[in-house]
Amino acid sequence: MAVEAFDVVDLIRTKRDHGTLSTAQIDWLIDAYTRGYVADEQMSAMTMAIFLNGMSRTEIRDMTMAMIASGERMSFDALPMPTTDKHSTGGVGDKITLPLMPLVAVFGVAVPQLSGRGLGHTGGTLDKLESIPGWRANLTNEEMFIQLRDHGGVISAAGSGLAPADGKLYALRDITGTVEAIPLIASSIMSKKIAEGTGALVLDVKFGSGAFLKDIERSRELARTMVELGEDAGVATSALLTNMNVPLGLAIGNANEVRESVEVLAGGGPADIVELTVALAREMLALVGQTDVDVEAALHDGRAMDKWRDVIRAQGGDPDAALPVARETHTVVADRDGVLVEQQALPFGIGAWRLGAGRARKQDPVQHAAGIDLHAKPGDVVTAGQPLFTLSADEPERFARALEAVEGAWRIGDVGEAVQDGGPLIAERIGR
């Protein structure tokens, strides 16, 4: 029987007492946990110690690299074009990946977008795209490479071979109250993104009521930590801090978010979705040296739409097929004339989740037609009887709990009354 290099209890005590772990200790810890030598209860104690006491930049880098080393590492070096990717920390109505990937790919840059599924009130990119008949999320590494080479973009599920230590550790954090630890969030996200093999990465880090981290200071700390990790690993990395106090766009769900994304690709769509898509596209292209391109033109002249249709077909989807429509709807109307002065993101995200658009457990299915369509945004003048939002679900009994979730989340005030001020959509850029 092999002799272990360290005693996990000693490492736990070190972090408990505000000490620093060495590279060798972190390498061993992640490897020993992945292969089952370190027990869940021991790693739970370690993650809580990290949650309470933090980690140094070197420790976070070492943990990230150790999680990468637990699995395979992809490479797109053989592609005839540079690669750039985007990661969002998630929010309500955040469908930006859908129009963004084809928009960036128009400019001869490959976009390997490895995405996930939704959990709780935050939607998953794969769930949205699976609203499209025939579309396939699971691709082999070889299929991904071929699609990037031939079509310039791919949105697919991350394979189990990428940073398997992270998958095991994330599941543990989820049940031990340590999900919000910034060193663990940063190493979780960046281990997969670095292992993915992209040459450049833009991070969309949300703050506000519908975000994973509500406070902008905590979001800024996370963004800086992830940018540092990317740069340390040789990946050109930057971050935008973006506002999630109000839902993004007008659609919250799956199929309805695909419809809204197609509207953006057709040159229309809500102004906030267009603004953030264009800003992230510029940032992704700038990181690979393309700074003198007209991103907006590619949305309006049909090039981005053509690329979308091409990539959807390449993954077995039919871009012309009808998207799912819910069997039942319930519309909430304004009870008075006035101005919509408030619309909170989180309650509307929870409402869509309760309608069936999200899941409480990873194994739960989603209802692709379920969701909420907003008919007004803060600042809009409304009249009595005018639709404010519509709930969609296959089972009408879901409406009561969804309405309960959004109760008090919106308010109509008098003309001239101050409107909810969540600040600018893009608050800050972090990076070189």
Give pLDDT tens digits for 364-406: 788 999 999 999 999 999 999 999 999 999 999 999 999 999 9
Tokens of 23: 């590279």
Which pLDDT does position 362 carry in this prediction? 67
Tokens of 4: 């272990």
Q: Which DSSP symbol is given to 248? A: S
Residue 2: pLDDT band (50, 70, 90) is: confident
Rounded to 10 degrees, the C-alpha dihedral 348/133/90/55 comes to 140
* Domain extents in the chain: 8-54, 84-320, 328-413
Residues annotated as catalytic (active site), given as ranges: 87, 166, 173, 188, 192
Spatial separation of the C-alpha atoms in residues 56 and 20, rounded to whole Å: 8
The sign of the torsion formed by the CA atoms of 9, 10, 16, 21 equals negative
Q: Is 363's pLDDT higher than 80? A: no
The fold for domain 328-413 equals Aldehyde Oxidoreductase; domain 3 (3.90.1170)
User: Measured over all CA atoms, what is the biggest interatomic distance in the chain, rounded to whole angstroms?
Assistant: 77
Please report, as a single letter, which amino acid is at residue 87.
H
**Nearest of 247, 208, 215, 190 to residue 62 by alpha carbon:** 190
Spatial separation of the C-alpha atoms in residues 163 and 254, rounded to whole Å: 28
The predicted model gives 279-288 an average pLDDT of 97
Which pLDDT does position 177 carry in this prediction? 85
Q: Which DSSP symbol is given to 357? A: I
Fold match, 84-320 / 328-413: no
Spatial separation of the C-alpha atoms in residues 209 and 18, rounded to whole Å: 32
Give pLDDT tens digits for 64-78: 999 999 999 999 999
Give pLDDT tens digits for 158-216: 877 888 998 899 888 878 888 889 999 999 999 999 999 999 999 999 999 899 889 99
**Nearest of 45, 96, 363 to residue 248 by alpha carbon:** 96
Q: Give per-residue burial for 199-221: e unless 16+ CB within 10 Å, then b.
A: bbbbbbbbbbbbbbbeebebbbe
Residue 1: pLDDT band (50, 70, 90) is: low
Residue 23 neighbours by CB under 8 Å, 6+ apart? 58, 62
Global pTM? 0.94
Which pLDDT does position 365 carry in this prediction? 82
Q: Is 417's pLDDT higher than 90? A: no
346 vs 361, residue with greater confidence: 346
Spatial separation of the C-alpha atoms in residues 279 and 263, rounded to whole Å: 18
Q: What is the mean pLDDT of the chain?
A: 94
Give pLDDT tens digits for 147-157: 999 999 999 98
Which pLDDT does position 241 carry in this prediction? 97
Q: Is 119's pLDDT higher than 80? A: no
Spatial separation of the C-alpha atoms in residues 298 and 98, rounded to whole Å: 15
Q: CATH for 84-320?
A: 3.40.1030.10
Looking at the chain, the whole-number percentage of residues with pLDDT higher than 70 is 98
Residue 421: pLDDT band (50, 70, 90) is: confident
Can you tell me whether residue 252 is helix, strand or coil? strand
- As separate numbers, helices (DSSP H) first and strands (DSSP E) second, the chain gives 16, 13
CB 206 within 8 A of CB 88: yes
277 vs 177, residue with greater confidence: 277
